[in-house]
Amino acid sequence: MIESIAHLGLLDDEDIGLDSAALELSALDHEGLDLAPYAARLDGHGAELAAIAGEAESALDQAGLLARILAERHGFRGDRDSYDAPLNADLIRVLDRQQGLPVALSILYVGLARRVGWRADALNTPGHVLVRVGPDDGSVVIDPFHDGRLVTHDILLNLVRQSLGPQADYDPRHLAPMSNRMTLVRLLLNQATRAEKARDHGRALVLYQRIVTVAPSHGQGWWDLARLQLGAGRVEEARSSLSSMLEVTRDPDSRAHIAAALEALAGK
């Protein structure tokens, strides 16, 4: 089934439809499920927003309308009760339950905004993906996990310290936009790290295979895939993954590290 998402790894980043691609990834865990009703639901949300989009005169207005559609009208919000449940990063289940992780809900907000031609990006905030709406010189940041509320400096600082520790300070990189591809990687990585934590290494291996399929130049994904393959005794596959990582890595120190790992596998 991995072949069904291979085209995502070949697309230019700007050609990836973020919410549609996340739906395709989710479908891998729901064999035989008809995706048409879910795609129609995303289209329907877009039509609802398009009908009122003319009311927005600023990024703040746009953010408010996104929250009106997704949080107020359709009830999408963060799952505080079962935060770590894998279904919270599974877009099909997120659509079914109207609950999810920050990254999954952010994909819905960004995808919806882009359907009406608005600028929106998921942000690489540690531990809690946020969304920027509007052009750089007049944008606002919102939190889809908390009903699309506006994010103040104090809220952001609190989120950063929850993730990085009580002494952490704000860094502009905490509001750096993620590419479409890396947003999908972060969605998958949420599932993969939880699978590893649960010692479900087979599931984690499958998820890292998806990561490198969607993002073939993501070196860390190849490294983690090789690590799991080696742990499962699949030495030849681990060697192939490290070779793929070497092809996309330019840093001399990293290349030396990969080469050493390949040499260590040579006799196995």
Q: What is the number of domains present in the chain? A: 2
Do 47 and 155 reside in the same domain of the chain? yes
Q: Judging by beta carbons within 10 Å of its beta carbon (0-12, 13-18, 19+), is residue 55 exposed, middle or buried? A: exposed
- Output the pLDDT for position 136: 80
Q: What percent of the chain has pLDDT over 90?
A: 87
Query: C-alpha angle with apex 222: 82 to 18, nearest 5 degrees?
Result: 55
Assess whether 28 and 154 both reside in one domain: yes
Domain C-terminal end among 158, 175, 192: 175
- Same domain? For 138 and 208 the reply is no
* pLDDT on residue 268: 64
Residues 136, 192, single domain; the answer is no
Task: Give residue-wise pLDDT tens across range 62-113.
Answer: 999 999 999 999 999 999 999 999 999 999 999 999 999 999 999 999 999 9
Q: Looking at the structure, do residues 9 and 121 belong to the same domain, yes or no? A: yes
Q: Domain range spanning residue 250?
A: 180-265
Of the candidates 105, 121, 96, 120, the residue with the CA atom closest to the CA atom of residue 187: 105
Does one domain contain both 125 and 142?
yes
- Give the global pTM: 0.95
pLDDT average, residue stretch 173-196: 95
CA–CA separation, 60 and 150 (whole Å): 9
Residue 42 and residue 71 in one domain: yes
Distance, in Å, from the CA atom of 21 to the CA atom of 180, rounded to the nearest integer, reads: 9
- Where residue 199 sits, what CATH number does that domain have? 1.25.40.10
Same domain, 171 and 194: no
Structure tokens at 56: 């927005």
- 196: number of Cβ within 10 Å: 18
Residues 197 and 116 in one domain: no
224-254 residue pLDDT tens: 999 999 999 999 999 999 999 999 999 999 9
Look at residues 175, 192, 224 and tell me which one is the last residue of a structural domain. 175
Residues 124 and 221 in one domain: no
Instruction: Tell me, yes or no, whether 20 and 123 share the same domain.
Output: yes
Same domain for 192 and 258, yes or no, is yes
Last residue of a domain, one of 121, 142, 175: 175
